[in-house]
């Protein structure tokens, strides 16, 4: 790599949002606990689904609590004849002097695990959903310190709680915000407290990464400009990673004509972020690439106005990269990761790219931009080319790229296009653990032909017809990758949650951050990375 060209540019322009920042806690969203606060303690206990009307199938932890309470918990539960079903809860009061509420939540059948058709670990998913429901109900009751049963999988339990309690209300008045809640793992009867605490911490960190992605995605585009995104990433990651903030001049010097053709319609300057986490010495890092369109109007090929507000989340790929790096670095995984994030707005204006314009990408390929709304692939083209300069052992890109992937898979799974069966197997394995699923899609030449048939240039940025839109988009990206281990994740369908995932509230989802973290964790076990 030509080190002379890659000089460190970290001039982050100060945004004029200080008046807002002063009033609201824009960045961290973390709650501050006052020492004078009165703590209302509650306990969450798990039970397995059980047909019997005269016995309760408690988790190990729950059984110990029941014994300590002289069987009061089981007695109270058995006063109701109908056994608890998976996902249902019962709240008990005055059971234990230490806790104002004891909430019993059903975590499904004992011994549930991998479900092949669902390609998910059902046991872990049920725990996440059950504890999520429990802590939300207790927060509604005004409880603010909650001890939670590990339910036999401490990490999943921690994930469920921490994901469920997330809410983006930084911009609301204090009284309308969700109250702060302290959660911890009920370890007191555990044989190995330290091990349990460590697992809990891991789950909490996984959730923290996804919650950072969610916060970034949810932030309105007038506040989260490319410059502000870079500022937040620096604030969140700078102590563990090297964060380079490149400006427009740098992108010009790198001949990123494709990326710059999208940015040129906006008054907001583009930013290209380069982040490095070095958890081990290696010459072949894992490369992560994320689409960072902080707002996508469609440009001159403007989108319909209905629902356009959701396009503040069009930096979901970038957000998931940032969230993943936060967790990977906090977990101190022994892996070398380099991340590349092109950030800009896609706006219509007198200086915007026009349909039919031809631009040149970093690798010299010319592109006829027939639709300015297919901008994600244009910014990724240059980012992918640039990432190849660092001899990566794999390249994983994530992008809210096409409405077509939403039509194909909905919120059921992220679409994955990859040239490597090995990478696919590892990513799928990671997603079984995380519960945040992936589904493989084709990279046939059939789709490549659609974008190489072009009147004026080497490539057209659209496929000509709407059919197979996610596949033609992936075929376009393929033209900018030589790496034998490339994965492209189209995450437009999983961008937001409208109730499909029980432990994520409504709004921007931050998916598939935890799958990517698990994948990096798997890769870190391979010596070459």
Nearer to Zn ion, 250 or 295 (CB): 295
Kindly state the smallest distance separating residue 432's Cβ from Zn ion, in Å: 29
Q: Summarize as ranges the residues that interact with Zn ion (CB under 5 A).
A: 293, 296, 314, 373, 375-376
Structure token digits, residue 439: 């589904």
d(CA 281, CA 527) in angstroms, rounded, equals 11
Residue 404 touches which of ligand BES, Zn ion, none (Cβ within 5-8 Å per kind): ligand BES
Q: Is 142 exposed, middle or buried (0-12, 13-18, 19+ CB in 10 A)?
A: exposed
Kindly state the smallest distance separating residue 216's Cβ from ligand BES, in Å: 15
Active site amino acids: 303, 377
Binding mask 272-311 for ligand BES (x = CB under 6 A): ------------------------x---------------
Kindly state the smallest distance separating residue 262's Cβ from Zn ion, in Å: 9
Nearer to ligand BES, 162 or 488 (CB): 488
Structure token digits, residue 288: 């992560």
β pairing state of 486-490 and 414-418: antiparallel
Question: CB–CB of 246/11 below 8 Å?
Answer: no
Nearer to ligand BES, 101 or 402 (CB): 402
474 lies in the site for ligand BES, by CB under 6 A:
no
402 lies in the site for ligand BES, by CB under 6 A:
yes
Binding mask 478-517 for ligand BES (x = CB under 6 A): --------------x--x----------------------
415 lies in the site for ligand BES, by CB under 6 A:
no
d(CA 495, CA 507) in angstroms, rounded, equals 9
Nearest to 516 by CA among 285, 328, 386: 328
Kindly state the smallest distance separating residue 227's Cβ from ligand BES, in Å: 20
Nearer to Zn ion, 315 or 395 (CB): 315
Binding segment for ligand BES (CB under 6 A), chosen from 1-9, 141-149, 399-407, 410-418, is 399-407
Kindly state the smallest distance separating residue 495's Cβ from Zn ion, in Å: 10
Q: What is the largest CA-CA distance in the chain?
A: 81
Nearest to 105 by CA among 156, 153, 46, 185: 46
Binding segment for ligand BES (CB under 6 A), chosen from 280-288, 325-333, 400-408, 502-510, is 400-408
How many residues bind ligand BES (CB under 6 A)? The answer is 17
d(CA 91, CA 96) in angstroms, rounded, equals 13
Nearer to Zn ion, 162 or 488 (CB): 488
Residue 507 touches which of ligand BES, Zn ion, none (Cβ within 5-8 Å per kind): none
Question: CB–CB of 342/248 below 8 Å?
Answer: no
241 lies in the site for ligand BES, by CB under 6 A:
no
d(CA 179, CA 38) in angstroms, rounded, equals 13
Among 91, 137, 190, 371, which residue interacts with ligand BES (rule: CB under 6 A)?
A: 371
Q: Give the single-character DSSP code of 307.
A: T
Distances in Å between the alpha carbon of 238 and those of 269, 316, 459? 22, 20, 38
Residues in a beta bridge with 341 = 273
Nearer to ligand BES, 231 or 382 (CB): 382
Residue 62 touches which of ligand BES, Zn ion, none (Cβ within 5-8 Å per kind): none
DSSP 312-343: GGTTHHHHHHHHHHHHHHHTT-S-EEEEEEEE
400 lies in the site for ligand BES, by CB under 6 A:
yes
462 lies in the site for ligand BES, by CB under 6 A:
yes
Structure token digits, residue 383: 């980012």
Residue 371 touches which of ligand BES, Zn ion, none (Cβ within 5-8 Å per kind): ligand BES
Residue 436 touches which of ligand BES, Zn ion, none (Cβ within 5-8 Å per kind): none
355 lies in the site for ligand BES, by CB under 6 A:
no
**Total Cβ atoms within 10 A of residue 435:** 24
218 lies in the site for ligand BES, by CB under 6 A:
no
Question: CB–CB of 218/506 below 8 Å?
Answer: no
Would you say how long the chain is, in residues? 529
For 377, list phi and psi in degrees, rounded to 5.
-65, -30
**Total Cβ atoms within 10 A of residue 439:** 16
Residues of this chain that interact with ligand BES (CB under 6 A) are: 296, 314, 371, 373-376, 400-404, 406, 462, 469, 492, 495
């Amino acid at each position: 790599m030509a080190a002379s060209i890659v000089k460190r540019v970290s001039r982050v322009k100060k945004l004029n949002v200080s008046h807002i920042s002063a009033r609201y806690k824009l960045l961290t969203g973390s709650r501050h606990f006052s020492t004078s606060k009165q703590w209302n303690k509650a306990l969450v206990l798990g039970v397995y689904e059980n047909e019997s009307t005269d016995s309760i199938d408690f988790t190990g932890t729950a059984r110990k609590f029941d014994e300590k309470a002289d069987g009061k918990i089981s007695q109270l539960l058995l006063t109701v004849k109908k056994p608890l079903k998976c996902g249902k809860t019962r709240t008990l009061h005055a059971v234990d002097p230490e806790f104002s509420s004891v909430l019993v939540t059903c975590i499904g059948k004992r011994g549930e695990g991998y479900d092949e058709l669902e390609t998910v670990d059902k046991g872990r998913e049920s725990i996440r959903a059950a504890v999520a429901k429990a802590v939300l109900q207790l927060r509604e009751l005004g409880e603010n310190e909650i001890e939670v049963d590990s339910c036999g999988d401490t990490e999943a339990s921690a994930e469920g709680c921490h994901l469920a309690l997330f809410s983006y209300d930084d911009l609301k008045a204090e009284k309308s915000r969700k109250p702060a809640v302290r959660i911890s793992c009920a370890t007191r009867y555990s044989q190995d407290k330290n091990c349990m605490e460590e697992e809990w911490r891991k789950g909490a960190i996984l959730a923290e990464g996804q919650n950072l992605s969610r916060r970034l995605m949810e932030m309105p585009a007038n506040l989260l400009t490319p410059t502000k995104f870079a500022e937040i990433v620096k604030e969140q990651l700078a102590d563990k990673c090297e964060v380079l903030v490149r400006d427009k001049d740098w992108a010009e010097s790198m001949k990123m004509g494709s990326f710059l053709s999208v940015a040129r319609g906006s008054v907001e300057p583009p930013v290209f972020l380069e982040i490095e986490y070095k958890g081990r010495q290696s010459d072949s890092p894992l490369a992560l690439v994320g689409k960072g369109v902080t707002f996508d109007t469609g440009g001159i090929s403007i989108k319909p106005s209905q629902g356009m507000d959701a396009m503040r989340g069009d930096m979901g790929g970038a957000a998931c990269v940032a969230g993943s790096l936060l967790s990977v670095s906090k977990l101190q995984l022994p892996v070398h990761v380099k991340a590349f994030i092109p950030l800009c707005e896609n706006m219509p204006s007198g200086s915007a790219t026009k349909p039919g314009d031809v631009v040149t990408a970093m690798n010299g390929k010319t592109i006829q931009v027939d639709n300015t709304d297919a901008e994600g692939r244009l910014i990724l083209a240059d980012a992918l080319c640039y990432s190849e300069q660092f001899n990566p052992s794999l390249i994983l890109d994530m992008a809210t790229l096409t409405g077509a992937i939403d039509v194909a898979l909905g919120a059921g799974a992220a679409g994955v296009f990859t040239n490597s069966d090995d990478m696919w197997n590892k990513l799928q394995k990671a997603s079984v653990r995380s519960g945040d699923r992936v589904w493989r899609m084709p990279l046939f030449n059939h789709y490549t032909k659609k974008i190489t048939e072009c009147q004026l240039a080497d490539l057209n940025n659209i496929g000509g017809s709407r059919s197979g839109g996610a596949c033609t988009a992936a075929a376009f990206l393929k033209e900018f990758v030589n790496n034998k281990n490339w994965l492209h994740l189209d995450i437009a369908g999983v961008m937001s949650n409208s109730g499909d995932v029980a432990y994520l509230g409504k709004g921007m989802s931050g998916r598939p951050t935890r799958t990517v973290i698990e994948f990096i964790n798997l890769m870190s076990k391979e010596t070459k990375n």
